[in-house]
Each structure stands twice: as C-alpha cells, then as structure tokens.
Copies of this chain bind each other. A is one copy, B any other.
Amino acid sequence: MPAARRIGSETSETRTRILDIVEQIMIEDGYAAVSSRRIAKEAGVTPALVHYYFGTLDDLFIAAVRRRGDQQRERQQRFLSSRQPLRALWSFLDDQSGTGLLMELMALANHRKVIRAELARYADEFRALQLEALEHHLGGLGLDRELLPPALVLVGMAALSRTLVMEDALGMTVGVRETREAVEALLDRFEGPPG
C-alpha cells in the first residue's frame, strides 16, 4: 500500500482546505469538474500549489478517498454498537451528500485503476465490519436465514438507500415514497419504533 505522494506537511491547513473543496466540487459538479485550476480558484491559492501538495490528480483523489474512508470507519464503529443498529445503519446511509460523494468516487474508480483498488479496500473492510457486528443481532430477529442471509440484508440496505437518494435527487416520483415508507415499516417491525 504505497502512500500517495505528499510533500506539504500532513497538518497543513491548506492541505485540509484543498481536500474539503475537492469533496465539495465532486458533490456539486462531479469528479470530472475537479481540476487544479478550479480547486485553486475556490481555495484562493494557485494551481501549482495543488500539485505541490498532492502531486498528480490521481494522488489527490487517493488522498480524498483515504481521508473520507478513515472518517467513515470511525462513524461506523460508533453506531454499529447502538441498540438499534439497523436503524442507525439506515440513517447513516440515507444521506444526500454522503451518497452523492460515494457515487462520484465509485464512478471515478470505475475508470481509474489505482482509485478502484483503494476504494474497494475500504468498501470490503466496512462490509466485513458490518457483517461481524450485526451477525448476532440479525440472528435474533427471526429472519429465515436461508432466504434472508445477513449479506443480503446489508447489501440490500446499502443498495436501497443509494437508489432512493439518487432517485430523489433526480426528481423521480413513482414508487420512491412508498419504498421509503416500506423500509421504515420494516425497521419498525424488526427493531421497534425509533428511540
């Protein structure tokens, strides 16, 4: 796991600001809108400084994946041990900007090998942590383990949240509200009302 090229100090405020702006641009206009010029303009620095801190754009994207991934790992660890972990997982996933950023990173990863590897590493790790933490909880819910194995439940929740968030953002209407309500009803059924 070679580190992304880094010259400026890791604690530099400018470095942090650049990564913040990269996320913001990806959410608003997509990964393709991320350029050293655009970043520089919004951060109030020069384009050369972006390259100074991160080297190539690929290195910059890898740094963005790592920072985000490390944050998400911490958040996940916290909510997985809550008393209603499926509800906690759902509200973690059902997030507009978080989903937007993840979709952009996945699209980017789909076309750039080095980023694909980095993103897959985090995604596999998070999935494994979820399975380990929730296996027992899911076993106690009375689900038919043959028809509804833990993997299906977890992948299904991730898949549904992404799709619902995207369809909302797209302005779709048919079936979106009904599906959200059905998910809430299922959470009620298996973990009781929120609280």
* Contact between B170 and A123, CB atoms less than 8 A apart: yes
Name 18 extra pairs, CB < 8 A, besides A127-B172, A131-B174: A103-B106, A103-B110, A110-B166, A110-B170, A116-B170, A116-B171, A117-B171, A120-B171, A120-B172, A123-B172, A124-B173, A127-B175, A149-B178, A149-B182, A152-B178, A152-B179, A156-B179, A159-B163
A170 touches B120 (CB 8 A): yes
Q: Please indicate the chain B residues that have their CB under 8 angstroms from the CB of A147 in the complex.
A: 182, 185-186, 189
Please state if A146 and B185 are interface contacts (CB–CB under 8 Å). Answer: yes
Instruction: Report chain B residues within 8 Å CB of A117.
Output: 171
- Say whether B104 contacts A170, CB under 8 Å: no
For the residues of A in contact with B, the DSSP-based class is helix
**Residue in chain B with minimal CB distance to A103:** B107
Does A148 make an interface contact (CB < 8 A)?
A: yes
Interface status of A155 (Cβ within 8 A of chain B): yes
Q: Given contacts A120-B171, A127-B175, A159-B160, is CB(A152)–CB(B110) below 8 Å? A: no
Q: Tell me, yes or no, whether A87 is within 8 Å of chain B by CB.
A: no
Q: Is A88 an interface residue (CB 8 A)?
A: no
